Amino acid sequence: MYFDEAKIYVKAGDGGNGAIAFRREKYVPRGGPAGGNGGDGGDVVLVADPQLNTLIHFQKQSHFKAERGEHGRGRNQTGARGADAVIPVPPGTMVRDATSGDLLADLIVTDQRVIVAYGGQGGRGNASFASSTHQAPRLAERGAPGQKRWLKLELKLLADVGLVGMPNAGKSTLLAAVSAARPKIADYPFTTLQPNLGMVSVNDEVSFVLADMPGVIEGAHAGAGLGHQFLRHIERTRLLIHLLDGAAADPLLHFEQINQELRLFNPVLAERPQIVALNKMDLPDARARWPRIQAFIRSGRLPAYAISAATGEGVRELMAQVARLLMSVPKPEPPASEIPVFRMEEGPTLTVERTEDGWRVHGEHVERLAAQTMWEYHDAVERAQRVLEAMGVLDALREAGVQPGDTVRIGNIELEWLW
């Protein structure tokens, strides 16, 4: 089984908590606050690893979590930043948000990195809250939570040239003949179960990546056979070798069927440059069909070659023509080496919702404040109340009709309204 799709859960590290501490040294009276800040949480990063060519490793592990930042300490010591969670994926991996389906990144360059979840900011220690009017603050912040989300990974193989054709046309045999790839080869009337890649060296200076693209049969665009599982891989290629089965009763019928499937799946594929090759010329029937097939293909202004993947006849000439055509087909522009694609936007909206057992306040700023406040400290509670008043949260609750004794929930924090 070939694994080219996966769904994973990523959680960035939470920020470390700020510290409440005071400087206590001999001969230093009233040393003042000395609580350090917490360290930031680690990010979750995807990186394109050329050693991988499938997403099978995500079958064993689908949850990834970065380290949280260390807590701040006394003597104004800032906590260490949490380690990133670096997740290797094959080049050619497209990253989508699993909920919205939005495309977040397309990793097509070796070692290309993308941050998919940012670590939480470290909380401030009490030294950060000291001022001329508040010289001994007994408050600090908890670290902000790291971002989390589900991601859908979709692999599209990176190959310069794709081999397409009906099952049993000899694609695997041709790939094995021109490269070091060793796909399974047998005379079965069904398709290979996984794409195979091979590096073809035409000479000391020219080489390209060739991929056997299985799954293209009549109805593949609608999901027949392996359908969409492998048709997507053809979209990455710059050139197609359309291999015809010389032993088939009507190779030209297969030629039309395959091209129709490509057009129906993605019209752009119909415009992709093609070289047509009739395989199995070691068979008398194939040699008898070649003149008619050659005339038909060349009438459509496509290059036509007669080859035998089994004996090597015509194979070198075919690969040389492929190399020449690739010289005129532009390579895709590489993206930036690092693209930060996901940040939790600061929403200005603030809403108050009546629930069965109280009230719930929604809003990015207010929920972050609630999560970072150390409610067990009196100074921290007073500061949170001032900030809530300045943000308009308390006025919004009063206007909504909150009463003494009502429960108010902000994020995961539950509070009681006293006045």
Average pLDDT over residues 405-418: 91
Name the domain boundary from 262, 296, 328: 328
Say if residue 360 is in the same domain as residue 307.
no
Q: In the prediction, which pLDDT does 120 show?
A: 94
**Is residue 217 located within the same domain as residue 276?**
yes
- What per-residue confidence (pLDDT) applies to 314? 93
Distance of CA 260 to the CA centre of its chain: 30
Instruction: Please report whether residue 342 resides in a domain.
Output: no
Q: What pLDDT does 373 receive?
A: 93
Q: Whole-structure pTM over 0.75, yes or no?
A: no
- 171 and 131 in a single domain? The answer is no
The mean of the pLDDT values for the chain is 84
Q: Which two tokens stand for residue 195?
A: 């794409």
Regarding whether 123 and 31 lie in a shared domain, the answer is yes
pLDDT reported for residue 334: 53
Q: How far apart are CA 52 and CA 390, in angstroms?
A: 52
Q: Are residues 65 and 151 in the same domain?
A: yes
101, 191: one domain: no
Residues in the chain: 419
- pLDDT at 328 exceeding the cut of 70: yes
* pLDDT beyond 50 at 377: yes
Residue 342 has pLDDT above 70, yes or no: no
Name the domain boundary from 99, 123, 155: 155
Q: Are residues 287 and 142 in the same domain?
A: no
Question: What interhelical angle do 378-391 and 393-400 show, nearest 10?
Answer: 70
Beta carbons of 234 and 250 less than 8 angstroms apart: no
Indicate whether 28 and 122 sit together in one domain: yes
Tokens found for residue 161: 């040239």
Give the residue-averaged pLDDT of 39-58: 90
Residue 270 included in any domain: yes
- Paired tokens of 40: 């930031």
160 has pLDDT over 60: yes
* Torsion angle defined by CA atoms of residues 221, 257, 316 and 191, in that order, rounded to the nearest 10 degrees: 60
Last residue of a domain, one of 132, 155, 178: 155
Q: Residue 304: beta bridge partners? A: 276
Res 71 pLDDT > 60: yes
Residue 321 belongs to a domain: yes
Residue 133 has pLDDT above 60, yes or no: yes
Is residue 44's pLDDT more than 90?
A: yes
Taking only the tens place, the pLDDT of each residue in 220-268 is 434 433 444 556 667 778 899 999 999 999 999 989 988 888 888 778 8
Q: Verify that 177 and 149 share a domain, yes or no.
A: no
Please give the Cα distance from 209 to 200 (Å, whole number).
6
One domain, residues 295 and 198: yes
- CATH, residue 53: 2.70.210.12
More confident residue, 23 or 80: 80
Element (H, E) at 321: helix 315-328
- Residue 186 binned pLDDT confidence (cut-offs 50, 70, 90): very low
Domain containing 86 equals 1-155
Verify that 16 and 144 share a domain, yes or no.
Answer: yes
**Average confidence (pLDDT) over 172-179:** 87
Give the chain's count of helices (H) and strands (E). Answer: 9, 18
Strands 161-164 and 103-107: unpaired
In the chain, the N- to C-terminal Cα span, in Å, equals 64
Domain total for the chain?
Answer: 3
Lowest mean pLDDT among 167-171, 283-287, 359-363: 167-171
3-state secondary structure of 86: strand
Q: Which of 40-49, 187-196, 262-271 has the highest mean pLDDT?
A: 40-49
Does 138 fall in a domain? yes
Q: Which two tokens stand for residue 353?
A: 């919702």
Domain assignment present for 314: yes
